[in-house]
Structure 1
Amino acid sequence: MKLAVIIPTLGRSEQVARLLRYLGGQTRLPDEVILSAPDATHVELPEGCPFPVSLVFGPKGLAAQRNTALIPSLGRFEIITFFDDDFVPAAEYLKQVEEAFIANGGWAVVMGRVVRDGATNAGLTWEDAEAALREAEGKRSDVPSVVDHVGAYGCNMSLRSSLVGDLRFDERLVLYGWQEDIDFTSQMRSKGRVVSVTSITGVHLGIKTGRVSGERFGYSQVANAIYLIRKGSVPASFALPLMLRNIAANLAKSLWPEPYVDRRGRLRGNLRAILHVAMGRIEPEYILKI
């Protein structure tokens, strides 16, 4: 099966270059890596990549950048894998993804298990990631465990391209695109199973540069959840508990916030979005005005 890796990126050119060099160590090389960025200033290409690398440029924002690369790829590749530019896959990641799709014709989306996630803390280094992957490899079972999910975590998700059809990432979820991954892959469940295979592993570094402001993000934590429930693409049983947990965390930690999280900004964004929802105003793109 022909497999492409798409990497949306913004303001992390050195990180992208390191990731491209790292992907050269995959036991199954990608047939092509496609970098999606607003312009060439966001991209740095290392010399000697053992696979083709192409660049696509378009509007800024995670959903838009995913679409910019996805649309021309659908007819060219059977598997499309999305990596965040700060995701570090295990060496057999792409090989295992290809094997999973070949062996399971009813699978629409496959994601790996994130053995450590820097998005939940101050962030991880490459050395942290490599140590975590070595530890996970030592514990790996020969029998993969498969878990069905409402949707996939966008830092690492692979699609069977023949099932995508006219589905696109929702560009109303602007900038960081909070929950655009769940929105898209939840809709893929009508075409086939959306699964996590726990033997496919990687580490999300959770680099803090290139992200939106705390207030914008806090607004998205509420507005995007309500928008997707009303859209019908994400069940309320998933979106509402996630939204409430985020509000509770921002409220509880706003007095003594972590140095790497703008809890007070997020809480202000939460409250503004709650007010807008109460007024019947559900507008994810409002964050462009903040």
Structure 2
Amino acid sequence: MKLAVVIPTLGRKAVASRLLSHLESQSRLPDHVFVTAPDEGHVEQETSHSYPISMVFGGRGLCAQRNRALSQSIGGFDIITFFDDDFVPSDDYIKNVVDEFELHNEYSVLMGDVLYDGAHDKACSFEEAIRILQHAASSPPPFHDPVDHLGAYGCNMSIRTSAIGAVRFDEKLALYGWQEDIDFTAQLRRHGRVVRLSSLRGVHLGIRSGRVSGVRFGYSQMVNPVYLARKGTMPVGFAADLIFRNLAANLAKSLFPEPHIDRRGRLKGNLIGARHLIAGRIEPEYVLELK
């Protein structure tokens, strides 16, 4: 099977370059890597790699960037693996993805076990990620495979391209997207299972640069789940729980926020989003109007 890796990036050229170098250590190299960015200013000058690489340039927005890369890759590959530019996969990650898809025709989407997620905790360095992966290599897996999910976690997800068809990332989920991964992969469950596997290991650094403001993110926390519930790609109960948990966390922690999270900005965005929802405005793209 032929596998392409897609890496969206924005304002983190050194981070993306480090990942490209790290992919050289894969026991099974990708057949092609597509780096998708707004323009050349977001990527390092090209250097030679052991695998083919293409730069895909266009407008901003995670969903738009992924869709541009899909348009170039979907016809020529059996598997498309999406990595965030700050995701560090284990050296056998790609080999294991290919092996699993070859062995299990019932799988449409695979995601790995994120051993540490800096997006939900303090960001970690590339060196720390390598140490975590090395330690995990000698440890038993934390759960029994496979674990079925509603949708995949976008920092690392692999898609059987035959399941994609006309499905694309929803560009109404502007900028950082938020829940765009659930929306996209939940639609692929009609063709097969969406599962998490312990054989696919990685670390999400959680680099803060390149992310949207706290206000914008807080707005998306309120509006995006309602939009996706109405669209039918997210269960209503799941969406309600997501909104409640985020609003409660931002409210409770706004007095003494963590240094790495803009809780007050998120709470402000939550309140703007709540006001729009009460008024019947379910417009995830309104996030572009916020600062």
Same fold (TM over 0.5): yes
Q: Structure 1 residue 195: deviation in Å?
A: 0.4
Map 1:53-132; keep pairs closer than 5 Å: 53-132=53-132
The residue identity in structure 2 corresponding to 1:207 is: I
Partner Cα separation in structure 1 for residue 64 and residue 143 of structure 2: 37
Partner Cα separation in structure 2 for residue 143 and residue 183 of structure 1: 25
Partner Cα separation in structure 2 for residue 86 and residue 79 of structure 1: 21
Determine helix, strand or coil for the equivalent of 1:120. coil
Equivalent position of 2:173 in the other structure: 173
TM-score normalized by the length of structure 1: 0.98
Determine helix, strand or coil for the equivalent of 1:6. strand
Map 1:230-245; keep pairs closer than 5 Å: 230-245=230-245
Partner Cα separation in structure 1 for residue 192 and residue 143 of structure 2: 22
Q: Structure 1 residue 198: deviation in Å?
A: 1.2
Equivalent position of 1:182 in the other structure: 182
The residue identity in structure 2 corresponding to 1:13 is: K
Contact 2:147-2:195 within 8 A present in 1 as well: yes
Determine helix, strand or coil for the equivalent of 1:139. coil
Partner Cα separation in structure 2 for residue 288 and residue 240 of structure 1: 24
Partner Cα separation in structure 2 for residue 203 and residue 11 of structure 1: 20
Partner Cα separation in structure 1 for residue 243 and residue 103 of structure 2: 36
Q: After TM superposition, what 4+ stretches of structure 1 lie above 2 angstroms from structure 2?
A: 45-48, 140-144
Partner Cα separation in structure 2 for residue 64 and residue 89 of structure 1: 24
Structure 1 residue 271 corresponds to structure 2 residue 271: yes
TM-score normalized by the length of structure 2: 0.97
Q: Structure 1 residue 144: deviation in Å?
A: 5.9
Q: Give CA-to-partner distance per residue, 1:206-239, whole Å, 9 cap, x none.
A: 0000000000000000000100001111112222
Structure 1 residue 50 corresponds to structure 2 residue 50: yes
Number of positions where the alignment pairs a residue of Structure 1 with one of Structure 2: 290
Q: Structure 1 residue 45: deviation in Å?
A: 4.3
RMSD: 1.3
Partner Cα separation in structure 2 for residue 16 and residue 275 of structure 1: 38
Partner Cα separation in structure 2 for residue 61 and residue 47 of structure 1: 25
Contact 1:148-1:194 within 8 A present in 2 as well: yes
Partner Cα separation in structure 2 for residue 260 and residue 282 of structure 1: 29
Equivalent position of 2:34 in the other structure: 34
